[in-house]
Chain A
């Protein structure tokens, strides 16, 4: 039999590339990850945290200004009754989809490479959902009666209208937030126990107590692991349809209406694909610098980045498929309003937004056909920024370009945001980054126990006893 030249090692079909690179064992994995939280706080962190806090304060100020003055401070006006707030809401909730996708769907598909990125992505999910939740809440105008959206008895003996997709959003987003937070917390418990034990050993009593409270007395008992793994599997199985449902329900906000450009049956899967796309974009935007600054190269390897880039290519192309189907069916339907709407999108007053959207979402990920770009962190980072921009514009195009041309030409209008719109949006990044930086500083940013679990020496039948060739124990 002739011997065959196989190209490069990471793609060699004969063996799986190592998920943890370098000469690492269990102890060194713990050291790398726990070290991030135990080291002295770097100066750069204070700088970034200061900026994030400033933006957060700005968000508070904007919300205060809005509550005192009313929705008129925004650019929303007839015919564009839904402006930036809904765009920002969908933008953030979309970003909040990658974490659960990585932790749940990739888990069910046994994609072990997820272990080194799932923790940070889940954290990102939760903070993004928090940022998202602000916008519809303040958009109701009289935020002090926001409790009317919940099925609570009130003085008017009125119940919420369960036929309203906006109410479905309330249930979907709050369920999603709750389940994501629980999922995240359950995953954190064993790692918090690691932090607790290390702090105890190092004599940092306050830290040990603080981590200990949240570690719930975890001591790695195998009986506990049995229930724990079952719970994790069930949460993954629940989160998978949940993550699909949330963005589907967000899409229903638009798609149940009669509005051309909103009412189309592909919206639910199309929104889900877009959400995953934007979420993975944000994962890259956060993880490439974090990997660099926190020295996580051996745990978040180029293979990981390569895989994320492939998912970006896949979902970006799916989004492109949906754009294409919308256009084709708009023509095929023979409905003149549909046809006008789509031609107006591409050539009307918001043509620039449409083409930014297409360029960023469909064209920019096509670079990921090239392997060397997928494995170049800098290129990935740059393209991920384009993805973030493109996905914001997608929501802008859907919202504004469908609304600005009413059925009656006398009601046509042009939407312009106000400074308050812009500053509120920028402020929401402050909220997101404040929490994310706190998370990076104090919590295990990689799932320690899960990373250990996918190392070859975690298998009890691995290479006889230890000291084998795979270089685990030295």
Chain B
């Protein structure tokens, strides 16, 4: 196998503490294209891996603002402009009565933004991922913690990286193919 078809190296760790320390060492050693694979979010691991915060909040704010505008436009246009009707002694467009639906539309679109934005940022759903070739990766959703270094990392070297991961306590260190 040539270097081109390698996706990266994956190592197994057996506790939240050990993956945390391993992540610190790996990034400290200069690796940048690293990721962890854990059964639950490990507190502080994003800092250890030097991964930035999520921009999802901005997506949601934009979606929420869109929801407010669309709802207001809809109610004003439908009841106050296109087919004006006077009912229950209120003006055709009466702002207090538009608040509930405006709020619901804001929440609905924000929720879509949060969920689909999260999927988009995570590039999910996907049918396959190279990491599934690792022999014990199935335990990443059970009780084991994995660290991966991708082959595209400038510091990546199949032999050196494997040895490094073993030296910091990784088990089942395997080269995973694309």
Q: Which residues of A contact B (CB under 8 A)?
A: 25-27, 30, 151, 157-163, 165, 167-168, 171-172, 175, 178-179, 182-183, 185-186, 190, 193-194, 196-198, 200-201, 216-231, 234-235, 238, 241-242, 245, 249, 252, 448-450, 452-453, 457-462, 464-466, 473
User: Which of B16, B18, B41, B87 counts the most A-chain CB atoms under 10 A from its CB?
Assistant: B41
Residue of B18, B101, B108, B146 near A179 (CB, 8 A) is B108
**Are the C-beta atoms of A219 and B111 separated by less than 8 Å?**
no
**Are the C-beta atoms of B39 and A151 separated by less than 8 Å?**
no
What are 6 A-to-B residue pairs whose CB atoms are below 8 Å? Answer: A163-B87, A194-B39, A217-B129, A226-B54, A249-B100, A466-B17
**Are the C-beta atoms of A234 and B110 separated by less than 8 Å?**
yes
**Are the C-beta atoms of B18 and A220 separated by less than 8 Å?**
no
Please name the residue on chain B nearest to A193 by beta carbon: B141
> Which interface class (under 10, 10 to 19, 20 to 34, 35 or more) fits B?
35 or more
Q: Would A238 and B110 be within 8 Å (CB), given that A200-B138, A219-B140, A223-B122 are in contact?
A: yes
Determine if B36 is an interface residue (Cβ-Cβ < 8 Å). yes
Residue of B41, B83, B121 near A453 (CB, 8 A) is B41
Neighbouring B residues of A249 by C-beta, 8 Å: 100, 104
Neighbouring B residues of A165 by C-beta, 8 Å: 100
**Are the C-beta atoms of A162 and B79 separated by less than 8 Å?**
yes
Neighbouring B residues of A183 by C-beta, 8 Å: 111
**Are the C-beta atoms of A225 and B38 separated by less than 8 Å?**
yes
Interface-located stretch among B1-9, B44-52, B157-165: B44-52
Cα-based distance from A206 to B146 in the complex (angstroms): 27
Neighbouring A residues of B118 by C-beta, 8 Å: 186, 227-228, 230-231
Not counting A151-B74, A217-B126, A452-B39, a sample of 4 additional A-B residue pairs whose C-beta atoms are within 8 angstroms of each other reads A30-B39, A217-B124, A222-B46, A241-B103
Q: Would A171 and B74 be within 8 Å (CB), given that A194-B141, A216-B119, A465-B18 are in contact?
A: no
Neighbouring B residues of A159 by C-beta, 8 Å: 78-79, 82-83
User: Which of B83, B107, B131, B146 counts the most A-chain CB atoms under 10 A from its CB?
Assistant: B107
Please name the residue on chain B nearest to A460 by beta carbon: B20
Cα-based distance from A145 to B142 in the complex (angstroms): 49
Neighbouring B residues of A160 by C-beta, 8 Å: 78
Neighbouring B residues of A171 by C-beta, 8 Å: 100-101, 104-105
Cα-based distance from A216 to B125 in the complex (angstroms): 4
Please name the residue on chain B nearest to A466 by beta carbon: B15
**Are the C-beta atoms of B98 and A216 separated by less than 8 Å?**
no
B window 1-40: CB within 8 A of A: 14-21, 35-40
Q: How far is the CB of B77 from chain A (nearest CB, A)?
A: 9
Q: Would A30 and B142 be within 8 Å (CB), given that A163-B97, A223-B122 are in contact?
A: yes
Neighbouring A residues of B100 by C-beta, 8 Å: 165, 168, 171-172, 245, 249, 252
Q: Would A158 and B57 be within 8 Å (CB), given that A175-B108, A182-B111, A219-B129 are in contact?
A: no
Q: Which residues of B contact A (CB under 8 A)?
A: 14-21, 35-46, 49, 51, 53-54, 56-57, 60, 74-75, 78-79, 82-83, 85, 87-88, 90, 94, 97-98, 100-101, 103-105, 107-108, 110-112, 114-115, 117-119, 121-122, 124-129, 131-132, 137-143, 146
Please name the residue on chain B nearest to A186 by beta carbon: B115
- Enumerate the 7 nearest inter-chain pairs by beta-carbon distance, A residue then B residue, closest first: A460-B20, A216-B125, A26-B143, A159-B78, A231-B118, A197-B138, A230-B54
Cα-based distance from A238 to B117 in the complex (angstroms): 15
Residue of A175, A190, A200 near B40 (CB, 8 A) is A190
Cα-based distance from A267 to B122 in the complex (angstroms): 42
Neighbouring B residues of A161 by C-beta, 8 Å: 79, 85, 87
Q: How far is the CB of B47 from chain A (nearest CB, A)?
A: 11
Q: How far is the CB of B85 from chain A (nearest CB, A)?
A: 7
Q: How far is the CB of B133 from chain A (nearest CB, A)?
A: 11
Neighbouring A residues of B46 by C-beta, 8 Å: 222, 225-226
Q: Would A197 and B42 be within 8 Å (CB), given that A182-B111, A238-B110 are in contact?
A: no
The secondary-structure label for the interface of chain B is helix
Please name the residue on chain A nearest to B67 by beta carbon: A175
Q: How far is the CB of A461 from chain B (nearest CB, A)?
A: 7
User: Which of B114, B125, B138 counts the most A-chain CB atoms under 10 A from its CB?
Assistant: B114
Q: How far is the CB of B107 from chain A (nearest CB, A)?
A: 5
Q: How far is the CB of A158 from chain B (nearest CB, A)?
A: 6
Please name the residue on chain A nearest to B83 by beta carbon: A159
Cα-based distance from A380 to B128 in the complex (angstroms): 47
Cα-based distance from A457 to B43 in the complex (angstroms): 11
Q: How far is the CB of A309 from chain B (nearest CB, A)?
A: 28
User: Which of A159, A220, A229, A465 counts the most B-chain CB atoms under 10 A from its CB?
Assistant: A220
Q: How far is the CB of A454 from chain B (nearest CB, A)?
A: 9
Please name the residue on chain A nearest to B45 by beta carbon: A222
Q: How far is the CB of A320 from chain B (nearest CB, A)?
A: 27
Neighbouring A residues of B125 by C-beta, 8 Å: 216-217
Cα-based distance from A75 to B166 in the complex (angstroms): 75
**Are the C-beta atoms of B97 and A197 separated by less than 8 Å?**
no
**Are the C-beta atoms of A27 and B16 separated by less than 8 Å?**
no
Residue of B40, B83, B101 near A452 (CB, 8 A) is B40
Neighbouring A residues of B85 by C-beta, 8 Å: 161
**Are the C-beta atoms of B16 and A462 separated by less than 8 Å?**
yes
**Are the C-beta atoms of B56 and A227 separated by less than 8 Å?**
yes
Cα-based distance from A242 to B132 in the complex (angstroms): 38
Residue of A197, A227, A460 near B16 (CB, 8 A) is A460
Cα-based distance from A245 to B40 in the complex (angstroms): 32
Neighbouring A residues of B108 by C-beta, 8 Å: 175, 178-179
Please name the residue on chain B nearest to A249 by beta carbon: B100
Neighbouring A residues of B132 by C-beta, 8 Å: 219
**Are the C-beta atoms of B16 and A457 separated by less than 8 Å?**
yes
**Are the C-beta atoms of A231 and B140 separated by less than 8 Å?**
no
Neighbouring A residues of B146 by C-beta, 8 Å: 220
Cα-based distance from A242 to B20 in the complex (angstroms): 37
User: Which of B51, B108, B122 counts the most A-chain CB atoms under 10 A from its CB?
Assistant: B122
